[in-house]
Amino acid sequence: MKQEINYSEYFKNKVLEEICRLFFENKLDDIDHIPFNILPKGSDVEVRCCVYKERAILKLRTLSSLGYSINDVDEALPLSYYLKPENEKKYKTNNKLLTVLESACSACVKSRFMVSEICKECLSRKCINACNFDAIYFENHKAHIDTNKCKNCGKCKEACPYHAILKLVVPCEEACPVNAIKKDGKGRANIDHSLCISCGKCISACPFGAIMVRRQILDVLKLLHTKKLVALIAPSITGQFGTSVGKIVTVLKQIGFEHVFEVALGADITAKKEAEEFENKLVVNKQQFMTTSCCHAYIRLVKKHLEKLKPFVSDTCTPMHYTAEIAKQKYPNCITVFIGPCLSKRKEAQEDSLVDYVLTFQELQAIIKTKNIDIDSCKKTPSEDFPTKYAREFAITGGVAQALKHYLKIDTKFIKDELITDLDKKTVLKLSAYANGHCNSNLIEVMACKGGCIGGCETIKPIKQATDDVKKFSV
């Protein structure tokens, strides 16, 4: 069966590849050609309404990939204008990582419930009885919803025996666990950065690719071979590229990184420290439970939305921090580049002086593809340090809790652990209840993404395949 191309992903990846190609060919002066290189005259690539609008959108996609906030730029100026150092300083003035491209946003219909054509006007009137707001009425042999009275509670949908009531959703709004996305006056998406936790779920959810990440890929490329670059590779990397750490190290050195550290080294430190903290909080201080702290999107959730939960969150730093600390101690003048699966690590790096840049797996894939590196044919670079199997499995659901229990000195049979993965509105409510003392577990692993880090918004492999490969290459 023919598989249709995901053009939202296609355009994003092509922009990254074009930036890499121009850099490696020493042709960045040709950056204004990127939209036309991706959509040349006579192209059969599917577009929205016309090739001219798609090229305009590609120009803004390129600006975002160069690290600019779309809201801060002048669209009339050429891409080459923004490569000038003085303009880079002028337009990269804020730390907001997500940017919405208005011209790409479809201004989806407002989220609401509606009655479909399969309504049978049944005699039980279960939908009317379920509604507490008198919003449902019958007319012309069919139920109708008065949108002025409806509160979008969904009780009517649950009650309908024919499943005739549907929920229309705005994908980005539905995906956001903290309601940080709202419509503006024209019905387009608008991100409230004071609420945003940088989980990146809106990026994956938007079928039009209208929500984009401000990237650091060109910043890192410019440093290759000129600075002592050190790569800090997240444990989830083996699941994305389906190969051993040794081969990935070889690839990164071919690209231009001088040294490579597994972030699993820091994961061992995190797990050990969290185990000590768990024993102290629960055994010594008799605290009810403790949650893990390695997911920065979750930490931002607690800081911004669940302050009552803060005393129950581990104070231990993340594996990325501890690995960067190791790298800086060994090579004091090095430039550290974390390579991982998500947006939240870039936000964490803004707050951590030990991490200089962040690349995502999608960006690394673009670099590898552009340089025509065949990972399978690469030889393994011998490891200097050997993290535990538990640390290398930090990236998958249950991996953090398992590593923590590995380092516990107390009898683990008393541990009632719970795994919260894929933060959404329901899990946020559950965590809120836990903060109020309604919790039956004593160790809670929290990951913002489905499947753990291997499900991050900037990953390149399906969760099941990535999970299997992380386990395969963790030994």
What confidence tens digit (pLDDT) does each residue in 307-357 have? 999 999 999 999 999 999 999 999 999 999 999 999 999 999 999 999 999
pLDDT at residue 438 tops 80 = yes
| Among the ranges given (5-14, 253-262, 311-320), the one the predictor scored with the smallest mean pLDDT | 5-14
The pLDDT of residue 115 is 93
Per-residue confidence (pLDDT) for residue 336, from 0 to 100: 97
pLDDT band at 383 (very low <50, low <70, confident <90, very high): confident
Distance CA 53, CA 49 (A): 7
So what's the pLDDT on residue 387?
Answer: 94
Secondary structure, 3-state, the chain: CCCCCCHHHHHHHHHHHHHHHHHHCCCHHHHHHHHHHHCCCCCCCCCCCCHHHHHHHHHHHHHHHCCCCHHHCCCCCCHHHHHCHHHHHHHCCCCCCEEECCCCCCCCCCCEEEECCCCCCCCCCHHHHHCCCCCEEEECCEEEECCCCCCCCCHHHHHCCCCCEEEECCHHHHHCCCCCEEECCCCCEEECCCCCCCCCHHHHHCCCCCEEECCCHHHHHHHCCCCCEEEEECCCHHHHHCCCHHHHHHHHHHHCCCEEEECHHHHHHHHHHHHHHHHHHHHHCCCCCEECCCCHHHHHHHHHHCHHHHHHECCCCCHHHHHHHHHHHHCCCCEEEEEECCCHHHHHHHCCCCCCEEEEHHHHHHHHHHCCCCHHHCCCCCCCCCCCHHHHCCCECCHHHHHHHHHCCCCHHHCCEEEEECCCHHHHHHHHHHHCCCCCCCEEEEECCCCEHHHCCCCCCCHHHHHHHHHHCCC
> Rounded distance, CA 232 to CA 229, Å?
10
Assign domain 219-472 one CATH number from 3.40.50, 3.30.70, 3.30.420, 3.30.1330.
Answer: 3.40.50
Bridge partners (DSSP) of residue 291 are: 313, 444
* Percentage of the chain modeled with pLDDT above 90: 74
Whether residue 71 is predicted with pLDDT greater than 90 in this model: the reply is no
pLDDT value for 5: 78
In angstroms, the CA 37 to CA 349 distance is 33
Confidence of residue 19 (pLDDT cuts 50, 70, 90): very high
Tokens representing 43 are 């192209």
Among the residue ranges 76-85, 334-343, 405-414, the one predicted with the least confidence is: 405-414
Q: Is the pLDDT of residue 48 over 80?
A: no
Average pLDDT score over the chain? 92
Over residues 247-262, the mean pLDDT reads 96
pLDDT of residue 4: 67
pLDDT digits (tens, 9 = 90+) for 194-215: 999 999 999 999 988 999 999 9
| 430 has pLDDT over 80 | yes
Cβ neighbours of 89 (radius 10 Å): 9
Residue-wise pLDDT for 173-188, tens only, equals 999 999 999 888 788 8
Task: Give the integer Cα–Cα distance in Å for 240 and 262.
Answer: 15
Q: How far apart are CA 475 and CA 456, in angstroms?
A: 23
d(CA 422, CA 445): 11
Q: Which pLDDT belongs to residue 50?
A: 85
Three-state helix/strand/coil letters over 165-216: EEEECCHHHHHCCCCCEEECCCCCEEECCCCCCCCCHHHHHCCCCCEEECCC
pLDDT band for 108, please (50, 70, 90 cuts): confident
- CATH fold, domain 112-168, is Alpha-Beta Plaits (3.30.70)
pTM of the model: 0.91
Reported confidence tier of residue 140, pLDDT bands at 50, 70, 90:
confident
Instruction: State the average pLDDT over residues 261-281.
Output: 96
The dihedral of CA 275, 445, 261, 337: what is its sign? negative
Mean pLDDT of 290-304: 96
Residue spans of the domains in the chain: they are: 7-94, 112-168, 219-472
User: What is the band of 111 on the pLDDT scale with cuts at 50, 70, 90?
Assistant: confident
Predicted local confidence at residue 3, as pLDDT: 57
Q: What Cα–Cα distance (Å) separates residue 60 from each residue in 18, 67, 97, 210?
A: 14, 11, 15, 10
C-alpha 183/C-alpha 213 separation (Å) is 19
7-24 helix and 361-370 helix, angle to the nearest 10 degrees: 50
* Helical axes 7-24 vs 51-65, angle rounded to 10°: 60
